Amino acid sequence: MRSLAVLLALMMILTRLNGSHSRSQSHHFSQFRNTTRLRNVTNTANSKYKSEHQETYMGMAFPDPTMQSRRYKKTESCPEGLCEYTDDYPMDIIENFLESTPKLKEYFNGLVNNLPDINNRDPFAEEETLCSVTKKTVFPKKALNLNKEEKTIINQGPYKQGIEYDLCGTDGGTCKYTENFPENMQATCKQKYNVRRLMVYNGNDTNRVFDDFRVPSCCVCMIKTTVH
């Protein structure tokens, strides 16, 4: 009888121990599952942050190629950076601005007449140059000033500011008649530039109506002597 009681007591102890071990395993499994879930949430947040950060960084460092091309591409309407045709030229605003400032209008008196008429040039006054050139006369509406800032230039109706220059046929090309030069001389055509002051539109600010621009002037033959 005593043996049976002892056996029952041992069985009860083993049952309690097994229950405690199962609860411990369940607790550890629950902790592991919560830790794994927390890691997944953290990784997802980090991935989202990295993705957003990378897109922002890439957006700053590598702009859209189409936008970059559209911004910097040279067009036929902007030879030498002098734009004669623009879609956003404020013609009416400039007209009203000049009408309200008669002193500025006086600046344009005679400017057009100062430009020589190509058809009326004296043919004997021109001599042959050593470089092939194209004579240009443009009336730019926009251009970059010496500080690389885009400025709106007043060029409309009777208010004209023309720029006349000779453009090299091939900048850096070989000059004419180089076969008659000494062998130790290299002759190349080079485009030259100068600074031209033009009236610009800076809102209604009448104190800053002129700005300086780098514009082409002529094409010259540069001689360089080489040492053998």
Residues 116, 121, 122, 124, CA torsion sign = positive
CATH number at residue 199: 2.10.90.10
- The reported pLDDT for the residue numbered 21 is 46
- The reported pLDDT for the residue numbered 126 is 59
15 lies in some domain: no
| Domain count across the chain | 1
| pLDDT tens per residue across span 13-30 | 556 655 544 444 444 445
Q: Global pTM?
A: 0.59
- Residue 160 CB neighbour total at 10 angstroms: 13
Tell me phi and psi for residue 201, to 5 degrees.
Answer: -105, 115
Q: Which domain holds residue 95?
A: 77-225
44 lies in some domain: no
Which amino acid, 45?
A: A
Q: How far apart are CA 53 and CA 183, in angstroms?
A: 61
22 lies in some domain: no
| pLDDT tens per residue across span 206-221 | 888 999 999 999 999 9
> 3-class DSSP state for residue 24?
helix
CA 34: distance to chain centroid? 51
27 lies in some domain: no
Q: How far apart are CA 46 and CA 186, in angstroms?
A: 63
- The reported pLDDT for the residue numbered 53 is 38
- The reported pLDDT for the residue numbered 63 is 34
CA 185: distance to chain centroid? 40
Whether pLDDT at 140 is above 70: yes
29 lies in some domain: no
Whether pLDDT at 133 is above 90: yes
Which of 190, 176, 164, 89 is CA-nearest to residue 127?
176
8 lies in some domain: no
Q: What does the pLDDT average to over 105-118?
A: 66
Contact 190, 220 (CB under 8 A): yes
Q: Give me the percent of the chain exceeding a pLDDT of 90.
A: 36
188 lies in some domain: yes
35 lies in some domain: no
